Amino acid sequence: MKYKRILLKLSGEALMGEQQYGIDPKRLEDYVSDIKLVVDKRVQVAIVIGGGNIFRGIQGAANGFDRVQGDYMGMLATIINSMALQSELEKHGIKTKILSGLAIDRIAESMCRSKAIEYLESGKVLIIAGGTGNPFFTTDTAAVLRAVEIKADLVIKGTRVDGVYTADPEKDPQAKKYKTISFDEVYENNLNIMDMTAITMCKENNLPILVFNMNIQGNLLRLIDGEEIGTLVS
C-alpha cells in the first residue's frame, strides 16, 4: 500500500450532484462507497469537506453580509456536511469521529492533534469540520493545516476533473493535463488548485497534493493502490 494515512479534501459543491443546492443522497452514497474501499485496506482516512453547497462566506460578503459573520456561517455549513457524511459512513458500518475547529459539544469534539491521531490509529474515519475555526481562511487551508497536524502522507483533493490542467478543461478544449507539477510552477502559472496559503503550507511542510476526479467510482482506491491517476503536486 503506497499511503498509510491520507487527508481527503472534498468540496461542498461536489455533494450537490445534479442538484442546485444542498446534498444529493446518491452522490453522498457514491463517495462513501469509495471511501469504504480504502478503509477496508486499513488506510487511515481523515476528511475535510467544504460548505459551498450550503453557504460560502466570501459570496455572502459580496451580497452584503459582514465577512467575519459570513465566514462563521460557512464554517457551520461544513459541520452540516460533516454530519451528513458521518451518518452515511456509519450506515455503511464505518466507525467515525467528528472533530471541529468550532466547538459544538453535542455534535463534535474540539480539534486536538493527539486525539485526532489516536482516533485514526484506532481505525476510525476522522471528519474534521469547522475550518480552521477562524475567519479569512478557506477549507483548503484548513485541510492542509489538519494534514500537517496529523502527519498525513498526502492531501488528496477530489474534484470533478481528472487532474491539473494548463487552463480550465471545461472551458478550453486545448488545455493540457499535468502528470506532475511543482509548487513553484503552481505559483508561476497562477494555477487554481488550492488557495495560495494552502499551497505555501504544503510547500513549507513538504506535503504533496494529489488532484483527481472523485466522481469516477473506484478512482480513490486505484490511486491508493499506486495507479497513476490525477496530478501530483510536490
Residue with cell 487532474: 163
Find out whether 43 and 5 touch, Cβ atoms under 8 Å.
Answer: yes
Local confidence band at 18 (pLDDT 50, 70, 90 cut-offs): confident
Q: In whole numbers, what is the pLDDT of the chain averaged over residues?
A: 94
For 61-116, how does the pLDDT look when each residue is reduced to its tens digit (9 = 90+)? 677 779 899 899 999 999 999 999 999 999 999 999 999 999 898 999 999 999 99
pLDDT of residue 222: 95
pLDDT of residue 28: 96
pLDDT of residue 57: 66
Residue with cell 450532484: 17
* Span of 8-12, 101-105, 110-114, 228-232 with lowest mean pLDDT: 101-105
Among residues 107, 33, 48, the alpha carbon closest in space to that of 78 is found at 48
pLDDT of residue 126: 98
Q: What would the mean pLDDT of 149-168 be, rounded to a whole number?
A: 94
| Number of compact structural domains in the chain | 1
Whether the per-residue pLDDT at 1 is higher than 80: the answer is no
Structural domain span for residue 220: 5-233
For 26-68, how does the pLDDT look when each residue is reduced to its tens digit (9 = 90+)? 999 999 999 999 999 999 999 999 999 998 767 766 777 798 9
Integer-rounded Cα radius of gyration of the chain: 17
Nearest 10 degrees: Cα torsion 199, 1, 28, 172: 50
Of all residues in the chain, the percent with pLDDT exceeding 70 is 98
Whether the per-residue pLDDT at 130 is higher than 80: the answer is yes
The set of cell numbers assigned to 5 is: 494515512
Amino acid at 137: F
pLDDT of residue 167: 86
Helical pair 139-150 and 196-204, crossing angle rounded to 10 deg: 20
pLDDT of residue 59: 73
For 160-213, how does the pLDDT look when each residue is reduced to its tens digit (9 = 90+)? 889 999 988 888 889 999 999 999 999 999 898 999 999 999 999 999 999 999
Q: Is 154 left (phi over 0), alpha (psi -120 to 50) or beta?
A: beta
More confident: 144 or 170: 144
Beta-bridged to residue 165, according to DSSP, are 177
* CATH number of the CATH domain containing 78: 3.40.1160.10
Q: What would the mean pLDDT of 209-222 be, rounded to a whole number?
A: 95
Beta-bridged to residue 5, according to DSSP, are 44
Local confidence band at 121 (pLDDT 50, 70, 90 cut-offs): very high
